[in-house]
Amino acid sequence: MTVRVDEKKLKEEAIYDGKWVLVTNTDLDPKEVALHYKGLSQVEQGFRELKTNLEIGPMYHWTSKRICSHVFICYLALLMNITLTKKLKAAFPDDVPSDLLRDIAKMDVSAIHLNNKTIFSRSNLTGKTAEVFKKLGFKLPYKTL
């Protein structure tokens, strides 16, 4: 099998490099159409975020109320994640937000049942977790409750 590049066709197609065409049936201004289209990519990125970083897998609901509630909770989680990521980028410009979030996610709480009482104990902090809480104005959870 031989592969060859059609140089003539390549030059003809070069005028389209880096450009895209949108066709619409609205009366919107072309700039507004482009902005809405770019907004669509943000929505798609949000769904990718929900499926990967937030580890929200498929849920099986049968009633409209539960489906709507699940979608709302996923959307709320996405908004919180976007907001926190923006704040992390502003507070820690030299760090990768996902690395900082991974440090925070390592924080765990254990429940200890002793003499009819429950004591909660937080794990030790890793990475920049304490610094993140401080810079963002969050109070660190107590080591023991």
Residue 145 covered by a domain: no
Residue 2 covered by a domain: no
Please give the average per-residue pLDDT across 3-9, as a whole number: 89
Residue 141 covered by a domain: no
- Sign (positive/negative) of CA torsion 23, 25, 31, 35? negative
Does the pLDDT at position 45 exceed 80? no
Instruction: Give the chain's domain count.
Output: 1
Residue 117 covered by a domain: yes
Residue 98 covered by a domain: yes
Domain containing 96 equals 7-135
Residue 144 covered by a domain: no
Residue 1 covered by a domain: no
User: Would you state the pLDDT for residue 92?
Assistant: 93
User: Would you state the pLDDT for residue 110?
Assistant: 92
pLDDT tens digit sequence for 75-84: 888 888 888 8
Residue 11 covered by a domain: yes
User: Would you state the pLDDT for residue 62?
Assistant: 81
Least confident of 75-79, 87-91, 105-109: 75-79
